[in-house]
Structure 1
Amino acid sequence: MTHAAIGKTLPQFKAQSTQGEISPATLLGRPAVLYFYPKDNTPGCTAEAQDFRDKHADFLGAKCQVIGISRDSMKSHENFSEKQSLSFPLVSDDDETLCQLFNVIKMKNMYGKQVRGIERSTFLIDAHGVLLQEWRGLRVPGHVNEVLQAVRQIA
């Protein structure tokens, strides 16, 4: 499988979101932020979604779309999106196609046990579908502001 790489056009994929199908073709024409998170309705993931929600108008002002991605089901995403008043789409990657494409599945320690899960990661894609920047293993506080600054530099 081809992986997404900085400086390269995104490989082909199709994924369902809470707002319709997402593919490299649907991302063309304006920058996009794809953020991968472990699980709906968990404290860190909720805080991250709220930060993107609260800055969503700023991303739109920079002509940038925001898309959240996790392995949760569409039903879980719909509930999470409604509960948190999210205006951007959430992708259900239950078969891990996008997780593999962006290489975000890692072994993590959770309560002293090794578990396989999504490493919190964000990717910035330009209007031509080229991956420009990535943030991996990040911490939520201040992250969305850092991504917004990067978006404004390419806008």
Structure 2
Amino acid sequence: MTPITIGQPLPPLTAATTQGTFDSAALRGKPFVLYFYPKDSTPGCTVEAQDFRDRHAQFQALGCAVFGISRDTLKSHQNFADKQCLPFPLITDPDETLCTLFGVMKLKNLYGKQVRGIERSTFLIDRQGVLVQEWRGVKVPGHVDAVLQAAQNLAA
């Protein structure tokens, strides 16, 4: 599967989440954010989730949904969401379907060893279901503010 690029519409996608089923077709007419993160309950991923949580009302005011995605199980996601009081769904992608579509799987160095994992990345999808902006190799501080600004520009 060739990764999606800016300007391309998303293909129909469904996936299990902590709040039911994610269905990209059902989101038509509404912008949304997909943010990919490496692992539940790790320091950087926790801060990123808290930042999206803390700005969730601002995204909602724009009519923009937020979804977090990792390869963790639904049970792990639910524990993470409960512990961090996350108001948005977390999508489980154990078979890496979404990870592959968005090209976020990378070789990374972990304690001197090469491991395959998710590169922290975020994608903004417009009302027509088209990928309009992406952030790859994300550094957490200030990132959610940049995504919110892009969503505000999209809504303007």
Shorter-chain TM-score tier: over 0.9
- Count of equivalent residues: 155
Matches within 5 A, 1:1-150: 1-150=1-150
Instruction: With the length of structure 1 as denominator, give the TM-score of the two structures.
Output: 0.98
Structure 1 Cα separation of the partners of residues 97 and 23 of structure 2? 12
Letter in 2 for 1:152: Q
How far apart are residue 117 of structure 1 and its match? 0.1
Which structure 2 residue ranges, 5 or more long, are not aligned?
none
Letter in 2 for 1:101: L
How far apart are residue 21 of structure 1 and its match? 1.1
How far apart are residue 8 of structure 1 and its match? 0.9
Deviations 1:82-116 (A, max 9, x none): 00000000000011000001000000011111100
Structure 2 Cα separation of the partners of residues 127 and 58 of structure 1? 17
- Contact 1:3–1:103 (Cα < 8 Å) also in 2: yes
Structure 1 segments (4+ residues) deviating >2 Å = none
Percent identical: 65
How far apart are residue 19 of structure 1 and its match? 1.0
How far apart are residue 12 of structure 1 and its match? 2.4
How far apart are residue 3 of structure 1 and its match? 2.4
Structure 2 Cα separation of the partners of residues 68 and 134 of structure 1? 14
How far apart are residue 28 of structure 1 and its match? 1.2
Q: Secondary structure of the equivalent of 1:133? A: strand
Letter in 2 for 1:135: W
Report the more deviating stretch, 6-15 or 67-76: 6-15
How far apart are residue 29 of structure 1 and its match? 1.5
Report the more deviating stretch, 7-16 or 130-139: 7-16
Structure 2 Cα separation of the partners of residues 117 and 23 of structure 1? 24
- Contact 2:13–2:25 (Cα < 8 Å) also in 1: no
- Contact 1:104–1:120 (Cα < 8 Å) also in 2: yes
